[in-house]
Amino acid sequence: IQTKPVIFTVGDATDYAVQASYPKQQIINAQGTSKDLARLVTEKLSPQGGPLLYISGATTSFDLETHFKQLGYEIDRLIAYD
């Protein structure tokens, strides 16, 4: 049973910011786009593994929330900035 959540980031800027704030947290960087992030998450986590928390801006280039719901994941979106 995993006790700490894993943080997935789209790219280096977000990865760096998260590492600065949470240095002991496991962070996995997709090093690309939101579609790369979606592919990485589906490779690493199953829909039965528990809910996802999706933190994003108000406007996104790819609808990750709908994408993951269609694949059977439980996902909650938190809009953290405009």
CA distance 42 to 20: 26
What does pLDDT average to in each consecutive run of 10 residues of the chain (82 residues)? 81 94 93 96 94 94 96 96 89
Q: Report the pLDDT value the prediction gives residue 3, as an integer from 0 to 100.
A: 67
* Nearest in space to 62 (alpha carbons), one of 82, 40, 39, 34: 34
pTM: 0.87
